[in-house]
Chains A and B, each alone.
Chain A
Amino acid sequence: MLNENFMRVLTIDLANLHSEINERADLHEYLGGVGLAVKLFDEHFLPDREITDSCQPIVFACGPMSTIFPVVTKVVAVFPSPLTGELGESYAGMRLALAMRLAGLDAVVIKGRAAKPVYLAVSDEGVKTKDAAHLWGLSCEETGRILRETEPGRGHRSCLRIGKAGENRIAFSAVNVDTFRHFGRLGLGAVMGSKNLKAMVIYGDRNDRINNYNEYSKVYQEIYQKVVTTDVMEKYHGVGTSINVQPLSEMKGLPTRNLQDSSFEHADKISGEAFARDSLFRKLACTGCPVGCIHIGLHRRAFDDNYEYEAVAVSYDHELIFALGSFLGMSSQGKIYELIDRVEIYGLDAISTGVALGWVTEAFAQGLITKEQLGTEVAFDNLEGYLHVIEALVKGENEFYQTLGCGARAAAEKYGGQDFAMTLAGNEIAGYHTGYGAILGQLVGARHSHLDNAGYSFDQAATLPGEEELVEGLIKEEKERNVLNCLCICLFARKVYDRDTVIKALGSIGINKTPENLTELGERIFQLKNGIKQKMGFKLQDVKVPNRFFETASLNGRLNREVFDRLVELYLKKTV
């Protein structure tokens, strides 16, 4: 809590609609964010119950610098992942960190299951649990609109909501945050759905005073100037993350057609530059971020003759263009926009949806699944087939779709094609086929995300690391990112927030830490997460890595499974 030596934690039990605030001095050393959330998750996790039990906890946490320093915008969610069956961790920005700060909350723990659909209105005046029968079944957008008109706090509130995918517990459903951001990956939407929790609105009026104005203002201005006047963050604001699409394709690092290829002949049509030129119409920012990396494209759709059009505003990024674009062979921006729009309406995770559709396409082509099961035919670059599959998936239309709703790994285990179901430990892969670093990084990362340790960037270094160096580098980077994630700094700003800057920023708001303190914190969280994952039954050596990774040339050429297995062994040795 700002200006205090404790963490203010709100715990809500949906089973009995009871809530309480605790001021936890013992948790202050975790700083906030992922450290605080993982510790609270560990306290509330029920090891004797199934991971998918609706009574398992969800924890949200912001950090001590959230909103009050530039680009410190994130809130972390920690939860049991129905997709991987282990620890779920996801980040979202927009207004959520601001809203938590104004409500005076460092963390929110949600336990139990409501007897019927509800939504939560959380503020500095308490928690209200409200009937959500009228919202159940609505899209993320319509739910947001109704809550915007019926709940207070305009301009400073945040609204989290799930769509039909979360309600129907699709294992890779997301949570929409303030229209254009998401808690994606790993199925937080399904966890909310299992609790009968449709939405949560957070707002408040808290006014935290600045104790050391001169010091704080000086550090704030230094960081602000670094962010807006240097080129450290320019790529995120200019073309945006999708600036990677074309060069990755040219270097054979862009997963294409279910990773049958690593370069895409239509990359020039769906590159970040092409999107910017043809349909980008505005950029948005999370609260407190002067960069504004959220790229919104205008998608125009003809619905009748005589020049009848409707238009939708759709947020795009590298990962969406990869997963719903090159990975499915989509040759136009319009087709990608259609898929993103559908994913948004239902509240699915875009990456997992695209990667699962990639497996569906190839499994259908090989005769592992039939037209009768699918209710349609699918092929790369065929939009109509994919739209049908997404709708049937969300509805859970038949046994096949119910299995697919558990993720690509589960579907391949049942129907075959495990060598081309592109998942790592159950999580669908990110958009970088760059080399051993990318695969190993996602495999060993705590949440199996490319963002755990940025393995893909090791593959693109001027000098490639040796095997030992790569493994040690991934471990070190993951621990370092644990520190940044305790502070909830957007990882796009990781080069702005070097260790000295972090220490100065914390010092200016009365939190005095040494570099050693922070290193020790990163290490402790690394161990804590691994301990929880073991409690959940995760064993790295049991994970099957699809052969496809070793069949399709990567940015660093064809990869060798023996080398990869050696890297995994090395990792296991170094983390015992």
Chain B
Amino acid sequence: MAKILKAPGINKCIGCYSCMLACARVIHKSFSPRVSSIQVRSRGGLQSKFAAHICVGCIEPACAAACSVEALTARPGGGVRFNAGKCISCGACGKACVVKVIHFEEETGKPVICIQCGSCTRFCPHHVLAMEERDHA
């Protein structure tokens, strides 16, 4: 079964942003964590806990259902596949996302989509992130 990204160890997060830098670097060839599909944020300032805003790997993704050009399609095991060539930058996926984690590249207007590649997990020094099988449908 394909795995999806999870953050089971979020309480161990030190907020180093290495995961975001990895996603930006490996997937988007960018230095900027703004274009990372995982976004680590404090819940209310740095006195509070961190939260990992990540794609939750829906089996029936609302973002794909909202995509009229099939740029986004459901991925077996959860989450979506993204064909950027088909994307018309309409923004419908972002509005449909049930956890509101899809954001957009400013220059292209295209969505920043998690493709469940696990690059971020390989650069987490505290084992906060992991690729796991979806444990419920």
Are A288 and B29 interface neighbours, CB within 8 A? no
Are A205 and B106 interface neighbours, CB within 8 A? yes
Residue of A nearest to B14 (CB): A292
Are B31 and A205 interface neighbours, CB within 8 A? no
CB-CB contacts below 8 Å: B58-113 with A: 105-107
B39 contacts the other chain (Cβ, under 8 Å)?
yes
Are B25 and A206 interface neighbours, CB within 8 A? no
Which of B16, B26, B30, B42 is in CB contact (< 8 Å) with A292?
A: B16
Given the known inter-chain contacts A98-B17, A288-B21, please indicate yes or no for A209 contacting B45, CB distance below 8 A. Answer: no
B79 to chain A minimum Cβ distance, whole angstroms, is 22
Interface residues of B toward A: which range?
20 to 34
Which of A207, A287, A291 is in CB contact (< 8 Å) with B107?
A: A207
In the complex the two chains form, what is the Cα distance from A288 to B15 in whole Å? 9
Which of A144, A206, A228 is in CB contact (< 8 Å) with B32?
A: A206
- Stretch among A148-156, A370-378, A460-468 lining the B interface: A148-156
Residue of B nearest to A216 (CB): B25
CB-CB contacts below 8 Å: A76-111 with B: 94, 98, 101-102
B9 contacts the other chain (Cβ, under 8 Å)?
no
Residue-wise interface mask of B (26-69) relative to A, using a CB-CB cutoff of 8 A (1 in contact, 0 not)? 10011111110001111011110000000000000000000000
B49 to chain A minimum Cβ distance, whole angstroms, is 9
A290 contacts the other chain (Cβ, under 8 Å)?
yes
Given the known inter-chain contacts A179-B45, A207-B34, A285-B15, please indicate yes or no for A68 contacting B40, CB distance below 8 A. Answer: no
Are A290 and B16 interface neighbours, CB within 8 A? yes
Residue of B nearest to A287 (CB): B17
Given the known inter-chain contacts A155-B40, A292-B14, please indicate yes or no for A210 contacting B45, CB distance below 8 A. Answer: no
Which of B18, B39, B45, B105 is in CB contact (< 8 Å) with A288?
A: B18
Are B41 and A205 interface neighbours, CB within 8 A? no
Residue of A nearest to B50 (CB): A284
Are A2 and B31 interface neighbours, CB within 8 A? yes
Residue-wise interface mask of A (276-294) relative to B, using a CB-CB cutoff of 8 A (1 in contact, 0 not)? 0000001111111111101
Residues on the A chain within 8 Å of B32, using CB: 101-102, 206-208
Residue of B nearest to A69 (CB): B21
Are B35 and A207 interface neighbours, CB within 8 A? yes
B125 contacts the other chain (Cβ, under 8 Å)?
yes
Residue of A nearest to B49 (CB): A282
Dominant secondary structure of chain B at its interface with chain A: loop
A142 to chain B minimum Cβ distance, whole angstroms, is 11
Which of A213, A294, A313 is in CB contact (< 8 Å) with B29?
A: A213
In the complex the two chains form, what is the Cα distance from A205 to B33 in whole Å? 10
Are B14 and A283 interface neighbours, CB within 8 A? yes
A534 contacts the other chain (Cβ, under 8 Å)?
no
In the complex the two chains form, what is the Cα distance from A313 to B26 in whole Å? 36
Given the known inter-chain contacts A155-B39, A178-B46, A179-B46, please indicate yes or no for A220 contacting B15, CB distance below 8 A. Answer: no
Which of A154, A210, A285 is in CB contact (< 8 Å) with B14?
A: A285
Given the known inter-chain contacts A228-B125, A285-B16, A288-B16, please indicate yes or no for A154 contacting B30, CB distance below 8 A. Answer: no
A441 contacts the other chain (Cβ, under 8 Å)?
no
Are B18 and A70 interface neighbours, CB within 8 A? yes
In the complex the two chains form, what is the Cα distance from A217 to B16 in whole Å? 18
Residues on the A chain within 8 Å of B105, using CB: 207
A554 to chain B minimum Cβ distance, whole angstroms, is 36
A180 contacts the other chain (Cβ, under 8 Å)?
yes
Residues on the A chain within 8 Å of B125, using CB: 228, 290-292
In the complex the two chains form, what is the Cα distance from A239 to B35 in whole Å? 34
In the complex the two chains form, what is the Cα distance from A156 to B48 in whole Å? 16
Residue of A nearest to B46 (CB): A179
CB-CB contacts below 8 Å: A140-173 with B: 144-145, 148, 154-156
Residue of B nearest to A159 (CB): B45
In the complex the two chains form, what is the Cα distance from A183 to B125 in whole Å? 27
Which of B14, B30, B123 is in CB contact (< 8 Å) with A224?
A: B123
In the complex the two chains form, what is the Cα distance from A144 to B45 in whole Å? 8
A67 contacts the other chain (Cβ, under 8 Å)?
yes
Are B33 and A98 interface neighbours, CB within 8 A? yes
Residue of B nearest to A210 (CB): B29
Are A284 and B30 interface neighbours, CB within 8 A? no
In the complex the two chains form, what is the Cα distance from A205 to B45 in whole Å? 20
Residue-wise interface mask of A (371-404) relative to B, using a CB-CB cutoff of 8 A (1 in contact, 0 not)? 0000000000000000000000000000000000
Residue of A nearest to B39 (CB): A155
Which of A68, A101, A145 is in CB contact (< 8 Å) with B45?
A: A145
In the complex the two chains form, what is the Cα distance from A128 to B93 in whole Å? 33
Which interface residue of A216, A290, A294 has the most chain B CB atoms within 10 A? A290
In the complex the two chains form, what is the Cα distance from A94 to B47 in whole Å? 13
Residue of B nearest to A227 (CB): B125
Are A208 and B16 interface neighbours, CB within 8 A? no
In the complex the two chains form, what is the Cα distance from A210 to B47 in whole Å? 33
Given the known inter-chain contacts A205-B34, A207-B32, please indicate yes or no for A155 contacting B41, CB distance below 8 A. Answer: yes
A-B contacts, 20 of them at CB < 8 A, read A70-B18, A98-B33, A101-B32, A148-B44, A155-B39, A155-B42, A156-B33, A179-B45, A206-B34, A207-B34, A207-B106, A208-B30, A208-B32, A209-B30, A210-B29, A213-B25, A286-B16, A290-B125, A292-B125, A292-B126
Task: Mark B residues whose CB is within 8 Å of A.
Answer: 14-18, 21, 25-26, 29-35, 39-42, 44-47, 105-107, 123, 125-126
5 new A-B contacts at CB < 8 Å, known A156-B34, A205-B34, A290-B18: A2-B31, A208-B32, A209-B29, A210-B31, A294-B14
